[in-house]
A and B are shown apart, each in its own frame.
Chain A
Amino acid sequence: MAALYEGYTLCAFVPQQNLSNSGIQGVEIERDSDHVLVTDSSRSVILYKVSDQKPLGSWTVKQGQSLTCSAVFNFQTSEYVAVSDNKVIRIWKEDDPLLDKAFKATVTSDIYRVLSIPSWEPVVLFQSGAVRLLDSLLSAPQQPIEDVLSQEESIRWSTCIAAEKQQQLVIFTTEQKGEHFLYLQGLNPNSLQRYRLEREEPGLSPLSFSACYRNRHIFLTYLYPNGRVYQSVTSVRAQGGDDGAQSLPVPRSLLLVLPVGEGLLEAASALVLDEAHVAVVGVPHPSAGAGRDFLCIWNTNFQTLQAGKEMAGRIYGQLWSFSNKLLIPHGKTLSVIPFECPKSSLASALGKLKQAKSKESISSTFVPSWNSILHGDKAQPLRTAETRVTRTTRNKSQSTTSPTIDQVLELIKTAPVEEVQEEVERFLSRSDIQGLQPSVGRIASTLVSRSLDDPAFYSSHTLTQLLNTQCLCHSVCPDLVLLALERKDYFLCQLCLQFFPDIPEAVTCVCLKAFISIPDVDAEKASLEPGSVSFMETVILKERGVVSLQNGFSPTSVEDFSDGMSGSKSRTEVDETTFNQPGLKCPVGSHKAALLNEILQTAYSDTFLLPHLKDLSSQHAILFLQYLHFLYVKCSQDHLLQVHGFRSPSLSQIMDWVCLLLDAHFTVLVMTPEAKGLLLSLHRFVKSQVKLVSELGKIEGSLQELDKMKTKRDIGQYSIEVIELL
Chain B
Amino acid sequence: MGEFKVHRVRFFDYMPSAISKMAFNFLSERLAVARADGAVEIFKFTDNYFQEKVIPGRDGRAIEGMCWVGQRLFSAGLNGEITEYDLENLRPKYSMDAYGGPIWSISSNSQGTLLAVGCEDGTVKMFEVLEEKIQFQRNLDRQKGRIISLSWHPSGTKIAAGMMDMIRIFDAETGRATHRLLVDRGLGMSKGREVVVWSVIFLSDNTVVSGDSAGKVQMWDSITGTLRKTHLVTKWDVLALSVSQDESSLMAGTSEGTVVQMQFLQSSVEQQERQWVRTRTFKNHSHDVRALVHTDCAVVSGGMDTHLVVLPLLDQVEKSSKEAKLRKITFPHRSLVRCARKAGLLLFQFPDHLELWRLGESEGQGKHGDCLPVKRNPEKLLQLTRKGEDHICCSAVSPCGGWLVYATVSAVRLYRLQYDNNNVSISRVSKLPKELRTVHQLCFSSDSSRLFASSTHSSVVVVALSNPEVKHLHTLKCKSGSKQPLHLLVPSDDGKWLATANADCEIHVYNLHKMKLHCTVPVYSSCPTAIAIHPSTCNLISVHADQQMFEFSLQQKEYTEWSRRLHKEGLHSLWLDRDTPVTRVAFNPENPAHIILHDTFMFCIVDQSLPLPDAQTKFYNQMTLRSLPAAERMRHSHAFKICKYFQHLMTVELLEDHSLVVVERPLMDIMSKLPAPVRQKKFAT
Interface, chain A (partner B; CB < 8 A): 712, 715-726
Cross-chain contact A726 with B637 (CB below 8 angstroms): yes
CB distance from A725 to the nearest CB of B (A): 4
Cross-chain contact A718 with B643 (CB below 8 angstroms): no
Cross-chain contact B2 with A724 (CB below 8 angstroms): yes
Cross-chain contact A720 with B4 (CB below 8 angstroms): no
Cross-chain contact A718 with B360 (CB below 8 angstroms): yes
Q: Name B622's contact: one of A712, A719, A721, A725 (CB within 8 Å).
A: A725
Residues of B near A712 (CB, < 8 A) are 371
Q: A712-B371, A715-B371 are in contact. Are A722 and B11 (CB under 8 A)?
A: no
- Chain B 96-153 residues near chain A, CB threshold 8 A: none
Cα of A719 to Cα of B662 in the assembled complex, Å: 10
CB distance from B669 to the nearest CB of A (A): 10
Q: Name B377's contact: one of A715, A718, A725, A726 (CB within 8 Å).
A: A718
Cα of A715 to Cα of B645 in the assembled complex, Å: 13
Cross-chain contact A721 with B370 (CB below 8 angstroms): yes
Write the chain A residue with the least CB distance to B659.
A720
Binds A, one of B348-356, B361-369, B434-442: B361-369
Residues of A near B368 (CB, < 8 A) are 722-724
Known: A720-B361, A725-B2. 6 other contacts (CB 8 A): A718-B7, A719-B371, A720-B6, A723-B645, A724-B3, A725-B641
Cross-chain contact B370 with A722 (CB below 8 angstroms): yes
Cα of A715 to Cα of B370 in the assembled complex, Å: 12
CB distance from A698 to the nearest CB of B (A): 24
Write the chain A residue with the least CB distance to B633.
A726
- Chain B 318-367 residues near chain A, CB threshold 8 A: 360-362, 365-367
Give 1 or 0 for each of B469-510: 1 = CB within 8 Å of chain A CB: 000000000000000000000000000000000000000000
Q: A715-B8, A715-B10 are in contact. Are A722 and B637 (CB under 8 A)?
A: no
Interface-central residue, A716, A718, A723, A724, by most chain B CB under 10 Å: A723
Cα of A576 to Cα of B641 in the assembled complex, Å: 57
Write the chain A residue with the least CB distance to B626.
A726
Interface, chain B (partner A; CB < 8 A): 1-11, 360-362, 365-372, 374, 377-378, 605, 622, 625-626, 633, 637, 641, 643, 645, 660
Mind listing 24 A-B residue pairs with CB under 8 Å? A715-B371, A716-B10, A717-B9, A717-B11, A718-B7, A718-B9, A718-B378, A720-B6, A720-B361, A720-B362, A721-B5, A721-B370, A721-B371, A722-B366, A722-B369, A723-B4, A723-B643, A723-B645, A723-B660, A724-B3, A724-B367, A726-B622, A726-B625, A726-B626
Cα of A721 to Cα of B626 in the assembled complex, Å: 18
Cα of A101 to Cα of B637 in the assembled complex, Å: 98
Cross-chain contact A721 with B10 (CB below 8 angstroms): no
Cα of A722 to Cα of B645 in the assembled complex, Å: 11
Cross-chain contact B10 with A722 (CB below 8 angstroms): no
Cross-chain contact B8 with A720 (CB below 8 angstroms): yes
Residues of A near B605 (CB, < 8 A) are 725
The 7 closest A-B pairs by CB, nearest first: A725-B2, A720-B362, A726-B625, A724-B368, A722-B366, A725-B641, A724-B3
Cross-chain contact B378 with A722 (CB below 8 angstroms): no
Write the chain A residue with the least CB distance to B366.
A722
Residues of B near A720 (CB, < 8 A) are 5-8, 360-362, 371-372, 374
Cα of A375 to Cα of B361 in the assembled complex, Å: 57
Residues of B near A721 (CB, < 8 A) are 5-6, 8, 366, 369-372
Cα of A720 to Cα of B660 in the assembled complex, Å: 10
Residues of B near A717 (CB, < 8 A) are 9-11
Cross-chain contact A722 with B8 (CB below 8 angstroms): no
CB distance from B336 to the nearest CB of A (A): 17
Cα of A715 to Cα of B5 in the assembled complex, Å: 16
Write the chain B residue with the least CB distance to A725.
B2
Write the chain B residue with the least CB distance to A719.
B8
Cα of A720 to Cα of B4 in the assembled complex, Å: 10
Residues of B near A726 (CB, < 8 A) are 1-2, 622, 625-626, 633, 637, 641
Residues of A near B626 (CB, < 8 A) are 726
CB distance from B378 to the nearest CB of A (A): 5
Cross-chain contact A722 with B4 (CB below 8 angstroms): yes
Cross-chain contact A718 with B11 (CB below 8 angstroms): yes
Residues of B near A718 (CB, < 8 A) are 7-11, 360, 374, 377-378
Cα of A720 to Cα of B375 in the assembled complex, Å: 10
Residues of B near A725 (CB, < 8 A) are 1-4, 605, 622, 641, 643
Residues of B near A715 (CB, < 8 A) are 8, 10, 371
Interface-central residue, B4, B8, B374, by most chain A CB under 10 Å: B8
Residues of B near A724 (CB, < 8 A) are 2-4, 367-368
Cα of A519 to Cα of B620 in the assembled complex, Å: 81
Write the chain B residue with the least CB distance to A709.
B369
CB distance from B664 to the nearest CB of A (A): 9
Q: A724-B3, A726-B637, A726-B641 are in contact. Are A719 and B370 (CB under 8 A)?
A: no
Residues of A near B643 (CB, < 8 A) are 723, 725
Residues of A near B9 (CB, < 8 A) are 717-718
CB distance from A710 to the nearest CB of B (A): 13
Write the chain B residue with the least CB distance to A726.
B625
Residues of A near B369 (CB, < 8 A) are 721-723
Interface-central residue, A715, A722, A725, by most chain B CB under 10 Å: A725
Write the chain B residue with the least CB distance to A722.
B366
Write the chain B residue with the least CB distance to A715.
B8
Cα of A717 to Cα of B374 in the assembled complex, Å: 12
Cα of A722 to Cα of B366 in the assembled complex, Å: 6
Residues of A near B637 (CB, < 8 A) are 726
Residues of A near B633 (CB, < 8 A) are 726
Write the chain B residue with the least CB distance to A713.
B371
CB distance from A711 to the nearest CB of B (A): 11
Cα of A719 to Cα of B362 in the assembled complex, Å: 9
Cα of A82 to Cα of B546 in the assembled complex, Å: 97
CB distance from A623 to the nearest CB of B (A): 62
Cα of A723 to Cα of B372 in the assembled complex, Å: 11
Residues of A near B361 (CB, < 8 A) are 720
Residues of B near A723 (CB, < 8 A) are 3-4, 6, 368-369, 643, 645, 660
Cα of A726 to Cα of B635 in the assembled complex, Å: 12
Cα of A721 to Cα of B661 in the assembled complex, Å: 10
CB distance from A49 to the nearest CB of B (A): 56
CB distance from A722 to the nearest CB of B (A): 4
CB distance from A137 to the nearest CB of B (A): 55
Cα of A715 to Cα of B372 in the assembled complex, Å: 12
Cα of A722 to Cα of B2 in the assembled complex, Å: 10
Write the chain B residue with the least CB distance to A712.
B371
Residues of B near A722 (CB, < 8 A) are 3-6, 365-370, 372
Cα of A722 to Cα of B641 in the assembled complex, Å: 16
Residues of A near B378 (CB, < 8 A) are 718
Cα of A719 to Cα of B7 in the assembled complex, Å: 6
Cα of A724 to Cα of B4 in the assembled complex, Å: 6
Cα of A580 to Cα of B3 in the assembled complex, Å: 62
Residues of A near B11 (CB, < 8 A) are 717-718
CB distance from B630 to the nearest CB of A (A): 9
Cα of A315 to Cα of B9 in the assembled complex, Å: 82
Cα of A80 to Cα of B637 in the assembled complex, Å: 88
Write the chain B residue with the least CB distance to A718.
B378
Residues of A near B1 (CB, < 8 A) are 725-726
Interface-central residue, A720, A721, A726, by most chain B CB under 10 Å: A720
Cα of A716 to Cα of B377 in the assembled complex, Å: 12
CB distance from B6 to the nearest CB of A (A): 5
Cα of A722 to Cα of B605 in the assembled complex, Å: 16
CB distance from B501 to the nearest CB of A (A): 28
CB distance from B667 to the nearest CB of A (A): 15
Cα of A717 to Cα of B637 in the assembled complex, Å: 33
Write the chain A residue with the least CB distance to B363.
A720
Write the chain A residue with the least CB distance to B374.
A720
CB distance from A14 to the nearest CB of B (A): 76
Residues of B near A719 (CB, < 8 A) are 8, 371, 374
CB distance from B661 to the nearest CB of A (A): 10
Cα of A627 to Cα of B177 in the assembled complex, Å: 105
Cα of A720 to Cα of B365 in the assembled complex, Å: 11
Write the chain B residue with the least CB distance to A720.
B362
CB distance from B629 to the nearest CB of A (A): 12
